Structure 1
Amino acid sequence: MKKLRRMIVWDLKLLVRYQILTIAVVVTIGYVVLFKGAKSYLSESVVTMLIFSDPAMLGFMFIGALVLFEKSAQTLSAITVTPLRTWQYLWSKVLALTLLALPCSMVMAGVGLQTFVYWHWLLLAVVLSSVLYTLLGFVGVLRVNTLNQYLIVIPLFMAPLCVPLLGWLGITKEYFAYYLIPTQASLILFKASMSKVEAWELVYAIMYLGICIALTYRLAENAFIKHIRT
């Protein structure tokens, strides 16, 4: 665990060095300005969707940038000859980006949501969403070597995951098929941070996100072993 803690501290320093922290702060400030200036024009569904996009989209994109920076600096090649284990490397990145997503999302919620916020549900929604989408980013970025290649990967991964947003925004009905996509589970937890949600939906959301995280971690671990350690 000491090695994992040291790695998390190191990755947080990398977030500062590579200006990822700066970008996250700027994006958050941009959302805050938007919420304050257009609060009367933005529905809660739209605001919640934007808050959801912070740990989801930024986690996916930032892990890509972080890993690509390490590839260009030959850091990943060096890791293969160190005693650092695969799980330590993966979870260090995931937890560092989750620690970055938490304050950003909390600030956005505090400014943008006009209702009482159940912070424990919001905290759980941000953590589980950040972990899942960061791991998905791992799966995508470990297969490419350049930013241009990763920009092609992003829509291939994210487009299907964004489909439940159509039901969330009222563009379509909330079809049962949406519940097969983990985004729906994340949205339910974000909804629970603002209003009462059926118990079965909460159970589904937490269990399904947990299952998806476990499966995605396995994919990320296999991708790391295949593309980096071999």
Structure 2
Amino acid sequence: MRRMLNAWGHDIHFQVRQGFYLAYLLITVMYCLLLSLVPSGARADVSVLVVFSDPSALGFFFIGGIVLLEKGQNIYDNLFVTPLQVGEYMAAKTLSLAMLSTLSAAAVHLSAFGWEGFSLLFLAGILLTSAFFTLIGLGLAVRCGTLNGFFLASPFHPLTIWEVLYGLAVLVVGIGLAYLWAKRSFINHIVLKIGGRGQ
């Protein structure tokens, strides 16, 4: 746990240094300004699209850039001779990017609606969705080095408690499966090829 937390702190420092937070601050401000121009009758629908298509998928795009950068700098050649485990590395990356996504989504929602509809359930949905897409992005990035865009759409009708529980359960199961797939991809395409044994 301590190694993962240290890696998580390092990832946040790296993201700040590389301008991720500044870039997403500007993007978030842009979204907030655009939402303020949307007629109030359509604002809820547009807000859902913005929150669940961009901030929640942020990890998918950023993890691809991070992995490609780290591969290009040969960071992996030395990283896994340290006590840091692949699972800890992945958890730190996923948590740091999911946190950035959640902060951005929260800012967009609060700017458009204030505290109305803002809840732990809303934050959990963003966090879990971002974690899922980050893991999918990581698995693709280590396999082929290129990323395709994915966008999420959310239903526009009130959800029953069973739909909420079902949605959360699907995300949790999806995260588990994506984690296992991404970890296997990372081991096969990075860890086992360290030292010039493959591209």
Paired amino acid for 1:35: L
User: What is residue 7 of structure 2 aligned with on the other side?
Assistant: 7
Q: Superposition pairs for residues 39-78 of structure 1, below 5 Å?
A: 39-40=39-40, 42-78=42-78
Counterpart of 1:219 (choices 161, 181, 186) is 181
Higher RCO structure, 1 or 2 (CA under 8 Å, sep 6+): 2
1:154 has 2:148 as partner: yes
Q: Distance in 2 between matches of 1:56 and 1:123?
A: 10
User: What is residue 204 of structure 1 aligned with on the other side?
Assistant: 166
2:183 partner SS:
helix
Q: Deviations over 1:44-64 (max 9, x none)?
A: 112111011233321110111
Structure 1 pair 90–115 and aligned structure 2 pair: CA distance change class (3 A): closer
Taking only aligned residues, the RMSD between alpha carbons, in angstroms, comes to 2.0
Q: Deviations over 1:129-154 (max 9, x none)?
A: 11101111111111134xxxx2xx31
Q: Deviations over 1:78-130 (max 9, x none)?
A: 11322210100000000011121122111100112378214112111111111
1:86 has 2:86 as partner: yes
Q: Distance in 2 between matches of 1:90 and 1:36?
A: 37
Paired amino acid for 1:126: I
Q: Distance in 2 between matches of 1:208 and 1:52?
A: 16
Q: Unpaired segments of 5 or more residues in structure 1?
A: 166-186
TM-score of the two chains, using structure 2 as the length reference:
0.88
Q: Unpaired segments of 5 or more residues in structure 2?
A: 193-199
Q: Do the aligned residues in 2 keep the contact of 1:105 with 1:126 (CA within 8 Å)?
A: yes
Q: Distance in 2 between matches of 1:136 and 1:56?
A: 13
Q: Do the aligned residues in 2 keep the contact of 1:11 with 1:92 (CA within 8 Å)?
A: yes
Structure 1 pair 71–46 and aligned structure 2 pair: CA distance change class (3 A): same
1:6 Cα deviation from its structure 2 partner: 0.6
1:24 has 2:21 as partner: no
TM-score of the two chains, using structure 1 as the length reference:
0.77
Q: Distance in 1 between matches of 2:64 and 2:186?
A: 13
Counting matched residue pairs gives 192
